[in-house]
Amino acid sequence: MPSFGPFVRSDRAAAWVLAIGALDLGLEQFIILPILPAIQSSEGASITATTWLVTAFLLAAVAAAPIFGRLGDMYGKRRLLLVAVALFVVGSLICAMSDSITGLIAGRAVQGMGAGLGPLAIGIARDRAPRGRAPVWIGLLIAVAGAGAAVGLFLGGILADHASIAAVFWVLVGLGVVVFACVVVFVPETPAHGTTRPDWIGGVLLAAALVAFLVPVSEANMWGWASPAVLSLMALSVLLLLAFVAFERRCVAPMVDMRLLSRRPAWSANLAAFAIGFAFFIAGVMIPRISTLPTESGYGFGLTYAETGLVLVPGALAIVVGAWSAGLLIPRIGARILVGCGALSAAMGYALLAFEHASVAAVVIGNIPVGLGIGLAVASLTNLVVHSVDDTNSSAFASTTAVSRSVGAALGTQIAAAIVISAGVVDGYPAERGFIGAFVLGLIATLVALAATVAVPARSRDPLISRAPVEAGVQAPASYRA
C-alpha cells in the first residue's frame, strides 16, 4: 500500500480510511446540488422547499458536530466514527425509499447528523500526525472532502439523467457500508479522555432556534410577512436563542463558550467562519437553477443534470486546491492572512456571478474563485482552532468553527432561496433579479468575512483566551496565533 505522507507505517491503512470517510462526507453534502431542480420538478415543490434538502443537513450538522466531537474525546473517536457513518447509511436509506419531499428532508436531516464524522476525522489526524505536520494533513482531509464534492456533483447529475433520483441515495448507502467496514477493520481506537458530558441541551436549543427562524423566512412570501404565523415563529426563534445563550453561560462544557466569544480573537474568528459558511452553498444552490432553466427564460442554459454537475465541478476542485494550499502555507504565513485571502477571492467570485452570468463560461469562471476562497478560509480556520488545544479535546474544539460555519450555511441557503421567490415570476420563470440578489448576498457575506479577518489580532494576550481551555481541562498554547 502506498505511503500516506507523514503518518507512521502502522497508521497508513487508518489514514486511507479517514480519507475515504472525508470523501464520503463531501459526497453526502454536495451530491444533492445538481439534482435539486429534478427533485423540485418530480415532487412539485417550491425552490424554498427543495432548498430545505440542503438546510436540513446543515441544521442537523450544527447540533451533531460538537456533540460527536465531545463524545469522541470521552469514549474514543473510532467508536463515534462508526456511529456517524451508520447515520449516513440510515439517512441515505430513508431518502432512497422516500416518495415525498417531507421524507427526503427527514432523510437529509439524519445524514446531517453523520456530519460529526468531520471533527472526529480531523481529531484522529491531529492525534496521529508528527509534530508540525498536522496542518498539512488536516488540509488534505478537507481537500479530499472537496474532491468528494466534485465527484458528487458529476455523479449526482449522471444518476439523475440516466437512472433515477433514488439511485443517487442508493449509491450513498453502498459507499457508507464500505466505509463502515473499513473503519471496523483498519482504524484503531483512540484513548478516551475526560469526563465532561456533551452539551445535548445546547445543541437542541440552537437547532430549534434556527428552525423557528428559517421556516417563516422560507414561507413568508406565501403566508405574508406580517401574518401571525410568521411573527409568532420569529418571536419563538428569539426566545429560543436567548435560552440558548443563558444555558451556554452556565454549562460546564458548552458547545459555544460565551465568555470566550466576548473576546476579540474568538468573536472575530467565529464571525469569519459564520460569514464564510453563509456564502458557502449560495452558488452551489443557485447555479443549478440557472443551468437547468430553459433558454426561453432569457438567462437559463437549458442543460441536463449531468451537464449541470460538470458546470459545478471546477468550483469544487478549486475548494480542493484552496484547502491543500492552506495546509502548506499556514506554517509559513499564518492562518489569518490565508483566511483574508480566501474571503477576498470568494468576494471577487460572487461579484463576477452577480454581474455576469449570461453564459456557461462566465458562471464557471465566477464559481472558481468562490471555491478557491472557501477552501482556503475553511482549512485555515479549522487549523487555527485545532491547534489551540491539546490532544484530549482536539475533536471537540475542531467542531467550534464548524458550528459557526454550519449555522451560517443554513441561514445563507434558505435566505438566498427566499430572495429568489420574493423576486416573483416573469413569463412563467423565476425573475433573474432574484438570482442576482442571491449572488449579491454571497458577496456581502464574504466581505463581512474579510472585515472579520482584519479584526482578528495576530496575537492575543487576553488572559481569558489563554485560561479558558485550562478551565475545560486542557492546556492552552503560549499564544493564540491567527
Report d(CA 348, CA 374) in Å as an integer.
12
> Which CATH number covers residue 78?
1.20.1250.20
233 in the same domain as 140: no
113 in the same domain as 215: no
223 in the same domain as 279: no
Residues in the chain: 482
179 in the same domain as 301: yes
Query: Does 1 reside within a domain?
Result: no
pLDDT of residue 409: 86
Q: What is the 3-state secondary structure (H, E, C) of the chain?
A: CCCCCCCCHHHHHHHHHHHHHHHHHHHHHHCCHHHHHHHHHHHCCCHHHHHHHHHHHHHHHHHHHHHHHHHHHHHCHHHHHHHHHHHHHHHHHHHHHCCCHHHHHHHHHHHHHHHHHHHHHHHHHHHHCCCCCHHHHHHHHHHHHHHHHHHHHHHHHHHHHHCCHHHHHHHHHHHHHHHHHHHHHHCCCCCCCCCCCCCHHHHHHHHHHHHHHHHHHHHHHHHCCCCHHHHHHHHHHHHHHHHHHHHHHHCCCCCCCHHHHCCHHHHHHHHHHHHHHHHHCHHHHHHHHHHHCCHHHCCCCCCCHHHHHHHHHHHHHHHHHHHHHHHHHHHHHCHHHHHHHHHHHHHHHHHHHHHCCCCHHHHHHHHHHHHHHHHHHHHHHHHHHHCCCCHHHHHHHHHHHHHHHHHHHHHHHHHHHHHHHHCCEECCEECHHHHHHHHHHHHHHHHHHHHHHHHCCCCCCCHHHHHHHHHCCCCCCCCCCC
- The count of structural domains within the chain is 2
Give the residue from 215, 233, 250 where a domain finishes. Answer: 250
245 in the same domain as 190: no
277 in the same domain as 371: yes
351 in the same domain as 299: yes
Determine if the pTM surpasses 0.75: yes
360 in the same domain as 431: yes
pLDDT by 10s per residue, the chain, length 482: 344 444 433 466 777 788 888 888 888 888 888 898 889 888 888 888 888 898 888 888 877 877 787 788 777 888 889 999 999 999 999 999 998 999 999 999 999 989 888 878 877 777 766 566 666 667 677 778 877 888 888 888 899 888 889 999 999 999 999 999 988 888 777 666 655 677 778 878 888 888 888 888 777 777 777 888 889 999 999 999 899 888 888 887 777 667 766 777 677 778 888 999 999 889 988 999 999 999 999 999 999 988 999 999 999 889 888 888 887 888 788 778 898 999 999 999 999 999 999 999 999 999 999 999 998 988 887 666 555 444 544 444 555 667 788 888 888 988 998 899 888 888 889 999 999 999 999 999 999 999 988 887 665 443 333 333 333 333 333 333 33
244 in the same domain as 136: no
Report d(CA 448, CA 408) in Å as an integer.
12
241 in the same domain as 305: no
Query: Does 225 reside within a domain?
Result: yes
Query: Does 482 reside within a domain?
Result: no
Give the residue from 250, 283, 309 where a domain finishes. Answer: 250
Query: Does 480 reside within a domain?
Result: no
CA torsion sign for 79, 83, 89, 90 is positive
Decide: 362 and 356 in contact? Cβ < 8 Å: yes
Query: Does 350 reside within a domain?
Result: yes
342 in the same domain as 413: yes
Give the residue from 250, 276, 309 where a domain finishes. Answer: 250
376 in the same domain as 237: no
Range of the domain at 263: 9-199+251-471
Query: Does 4 reside within a domain?
Result: no
pLDDT of residue 132: 60
Query: Does 2 reside within a domain?
Result: no
Long-range own/partner contacts, residues 381-385 (CB < 8 A, 24 or more apart): 381/269, 381/272, 381/273, 381/276, 381/335, 381/339, 381/405, 382/122, 382/138, 382/142, 383/134, 383/135, 383/138, 383/139, 383/326, 383/327, 383/330, 383/335, 384/269, 384/335, 384/339, 384/481, 384/482, 385/269
Query: Does 64 reside within a domain?
Result: yes
